[in-house]
Structure 1
Amino acid sequence: MVLGKRLRQLREQAGVSFEEAARAIEVTALTVRRMEKAEVGLRIPYVKELLRTYGVSAKEIEDFVSLAREANQPGWWYKYRDVLPEWFSAYVSLESEAAVIRLYEPQYVPGLLQTPDYAAALMRVGFPNATEEDIARRVSLRLRRQDLLAKPEAPAIWAILDETVLRRPVGGLEVMRAQIDRLTEILASPRVRIQIMRFAAGPHPGAFGPFHYFRFGFSELPDIVYTESLAGSQYVDQPDDVVTYLEILDRMSVQAEPVSRTRDILAALRKEL
């Protein structure tokens, strides 16, 4: 996405139209548009010729091509393609590159914070016909995503969880106890902030469903919001729409219990179990 936007900037700076760029590499203007929108891979011969057309220096072309080759390499999640839906692979990519992740979850603990047993219990419900081997693969993918939290450049995570998340029994009491213990432990991380939206808070603006907001460390990348439903997912990147979600998160953070109360809330719920 970053390189695609950079290609567009270079084309516009050179005063080259889509049609002129397309003629330079003998493709349609639509192909050039799709390259700039990161809807297709960056073919190295095309990239080199486009950059020459845009008057880019040989050294800059070399650097850009090096980045393009790196961008064309499959992510670590490629080996999980047998259990990773195509529509969700984009999410894993965004998650891996985000500097900030803010989210609201009304039903379940977010994947990045789940224990193996909790994740497995959810997988068995979501994929009732899957074999245990398949379930294990899906859980392995989820745990591999959690490696992100241990990295020096780990994103800042700010999660608002509905009280339902902590009261809905998933996998039995022992699994829920361990899951609450996991959430309590992760509160020690300076990069993780968790708030609880209590039932007593009443209606709130995010009650329609889960959504995740991503902010990146690249000026070329816009903020992106991810939402999902039974039919699939949607990635929202139009500024006005993204701002709407961000404003909802801000309002919910005021309505939810403060972060300073989260540990006590988790401890009280743990005693109930």
Structure 2
Amino acid sequence: MSLGPTARRRRLGTSLAELRSEAQRSLNEAADHIGCSAGKIRNWEAGRSGIKKFELTALLDYYRTPQAVRGLLEDLRREGAQRGWWSTYRLPEWFKPYVGLEQAAVEVRNFEIELIPGLLQTKAYAREIHSAGTHITDPSDVEKRVAARMERQQRLWADEPLRLSAVVSEAALHRQIGGAEVMAEQLHHLRSLGRLPNVVLQILPSSVGTHPSLAGGFTFLRFAESADPDVGWTENPLGGNVIEDRDDVATLRTMFDELQRLALSKRDSTRLLARMLAESTTP
């Protein structure tokens, strides 16, 4: 899979952090040298924001970077400045970083309490979600948001498909988003996607009671290259947060493993979906 702009920014950022460390320069020293804040340097190294050509040149001069390396880093900078396909879908600014990371990831692990995961939603279900809060999503943007969600799902059928492990609370299956017809279609869709070899769908039954993530859902993303560290993601109605601290990401990984252990197996989850569908069609 070719690297997208977000992945290239992260790769460039990792290289900049390594060069600064090798040059034995602190964040403040690098920032003072080129006349910016330490926070700006930190954002570049984390791949959260793009760097201009003259800024990159100034840093590489300061770090005494070999010419051969400079060319590779300039290529990453230029390609990382390109706009991703999602830039035309009027997504919230806070959500764009996640979409970029998801497009670069090879594996996504997602736990949801109240909703079906976005990568597993039908178009009708997604439309209901985006239409529910007009204070959050402008009605004129709903179809764009739905289309973006459908585009994200194409990774599941790509030549090098995204690996998705999802643990979904049973409560999300019973919540009547859009009514009985929409939910029946959604449950059928979950059964179909659960048969894909790259998708592991598990239901966390209500009988479990307490579990490691009662406060809400989260996502954990893995990437192909060791140069791109794993990240986490959490969101709420007003925004989202990329989690990069290694200890926090490790905690999310452990939490997900525990949720998978508590959840029904893939086979039993499929059986539960079949039973719910049968019950929904029984007069």
Normalised to the residue count of structure 1, the TM-score between the two structures is 0.90
- Where does residue 112 of structure 1 map in the other structure? 119
Q: Distance in 1 between matches of 2:28 and 2:235?
A: 36
- Where does residue 185 of structure 1 map in the other structure? 192
| Alignment: residue pair count | 271
- Where does residue 45 of structure 2 map in the other structure? 36
Contact 1:2 1:218 in 2 (8 A): no
Post-superposition CA distance 1:203-260 (Å, at most 9, x none): 2222221111112223233322211223422222222222222222111111111112
Q: Distance in 2 between matches of 1:130 and 1:19?
A: 40
Aligned-partner SS, 1:87:
coil
Q: Distance in 2 between matches of 1:134 and 1:19?
A: 41
Q: 1:24 to 1:229 in 2, by over 3 A?
A: closer
Q: Distance in 1 between matches of 2:195 and 2:121?
A: 16
Equivalent AA in structure 2 for residue 237 of structure 1: E
Question: Any unmatched runs of 5+ in structure 2?
Answer: 1-9
Matches within 5 A, 1:1-273: 1-18=10-27, 21-22=30-31, 25=34, 27=36, 31-81=40-90, 84-127=91-134, 133-273=140-280
Q: Quote the RMSD (CA, aligned, Å).
A: 2.2
Aligned-partner SS, 2:110:
strand
Q: 1:173 to 1:222 in 2, by over 3 A?
A: same
Instruction: State the shift of 1:129 in Å.
Output: 8.8
Normalised to the residue count of structure 2, the TM-score between the two structures is 0.87
Q: Distance in 1 between matches of 2:12 and 2:191?
A: 40
Q: Distance in 2 between matches of 1:60 and 1:222?
A: 21
Post-superposition CA distance 1:121-172 (Å, at most 9, x none): 1111122796764321221111111122122233211100111111111112
Q: Distance in 1 between matches of 2:15 and 2:136?
A: 45
Instruction: State the shift of 1:14 in Å.
Output: 2.8
Instruction: State the shift of 1:52 in Å.
Output: 3.7
Bigger mean CA offset, 122-131 vs 190-199: 122-131
Q: Distance in 1 between matches of 2:207 and 2:45?
A: 48
Q: Distance in 2 between matches of 1:62 and 1:237?
A: 28
Instruction: State the shift of 1:31 in Å.
Output: 4.0
Q: Distance in 2 between matches of 1:172 and 1:2?
A: 45
Q: Distance in 1 between matches of 2:147 and 2:260?
A: 32
Question: Any unmatched runs of 5+ in structure 1?
Answer: none
Q: 1:44 to 1:157 in 2, by over 3 A?
A: same
Q: Distance in 2 between matches of 1:30 and 1:259?
A: 44
Post-superposition CA distance 1:27-84 (Å, at most 9, x none): 5555434432334321112223432443333232112111110001111111123xx1
Q: Distance in 1 between matches of 2:209 and 2:39?
A: 49
